[in-house]
Amino acid sequence: MYRKVMVPLDGSTFAEHALPLARSIARRSGAELHLVAVVPPLSAGYTEGVFFTTADLEAEAVERQEAYLAGVRERLGEDLKVTTSVLEGDIATCLCAHAASRDVELVAMATHGRGPLARFWLGSVADEVIRHAHLPILLVRPEEEPVDLTREPDPHKVVLCLDGTDLAERIIEPAVHIAALMPEVEFVLVRVIKPVIPAPGGLEGPTVEDEVQHLLHEIQVVQEGLFREAESYLREVASRLRARGLRVSVRVAIDERPEEAILHEAEASGAGLIALETHGRGGLARLVLGSVTDKVLRGSHVPVLVQRPVPV
């Protein structure tokens, strides 16, 4: 179970869309909900004949953020423990260091923001936090309607992306911790394999048609073998999870674009959460810097749980 959940905020309603799910997780697990704002280094200013020093501007910004976080804490109600901190410095560095110093076990943040967290989806802050924070990060896509802090999100189905490696399986426990708090959650284990493409070369044989048929047969045999291997792997993982009393189904997808297969499965299954490790192999390789996680975050309408593996 999670004991401390951190939510970075920047004063925008966009960033606050991470709060309902974070609040639900904290309330159900009895965890502390820790709200954090970061004031980045500011420049001195001059207006209407008054010169403002950097210290003046930063002190004012800190006061504004403290007042804002106090207001959010009051809006969250008294049924859970809420603490706040206003930090000063580089945003990503402060968030990662603060999470480590406070023994934070889960970070929940919106994929858009304004001000210090502007362009959060593709900006450097989210990327840097994912790169350097070795803990689960729950990314929530903001909705257009106002934030409803009384809403209890229920990710009743979780798409869990695996690639056959122990490394990718490290996302299982963080996802299980969240699912254990929700009623009747089902896991959909997904592994994406790419279609087999024959090596280039001239066709030889009695006839071109015979050679084409032979090549197609070989491709089918290889593809079926890869499919069976992937399905067998997922069934083995599923049996381990079922032994823990969890509801699990498996799905092997064949797609040249793994992110499209993941998003399709999430939509088709009605999933409320996608979970994947930030490093993997094959279709899920180099997810932090590659295009798969980026495209999943771009296209997902449900929260995405990611985690960078702890070095061993």
Express each pLDDT in 230-239 by its tens digit. Answer: 999 999 999 9
Confidence of residue 112 (pLDDT cuts 50, 70, 90): low
Q: Are 262 and 159 in contact (CB under 8 A)?
A: yes
23-58 pLDDT, tens digit each? 999 999 999 999 999 988 875 444 444 445 567 677
Residue 262 has a pLDDT of 95
Residue 86 to residue 110: CA distance in whole angstroms: 18
Q: What is the pTM of this model?
A: 0.84
Total domain count, the chain: 2
Q: What is the CATH number of the domain that holds 136?
A: 3.40.50.620
Query: pLDDT tier at 281 (50, 70, 90 boundaries)?
Result: very low
- The better pLDDT of the pair 304, 218 is held by 304
Which pLDDT score, from 0 to 100, does residue 273 have? 96
Asked whether residue 278 falls in the same domain as residue 185, the answer is yes
- Using the 3D structure, point to which of 91, 118, 153 is the last residue of a domain: 153
Range of the domain at 86: 1-153
What is residue 282's predicted lDDT score, i.e. its pLDDT?
Answer: 43
Q: List the one residue out of 85, 47, 279, 24 whose CA is nearest residue 169.
A: 279
CA distance 204 to 189: 42
Question: Residue 7 pairs with which residues in a beta bridge?
Answer: 35
User: Which of 132, 153, 174 is the last residue before a domain boundary?
Assistant: 153
Q: According to the model, what pLDDT value does residue 124 have?
A: 59
Domain boundary (109, 134, 153) is at 153
303 vs 167: which has the higher pLDDT: 303
Higher-confidence position of 157 and 146:
157
Separation between Cα atoms, residue 149 and residue 262, nearest integer Å: 29
Per-residue pLDDT band for 296 (boundaries 50, 70, 90) equals confident
Same domain, 182 and 104: no
Q: What is the pLDDT of residue 289?
A: 36
- Same domain as 217, residue 145: no
| CA neighbor of 278 nearest in space, from 265, 270, 290, 268 | 290
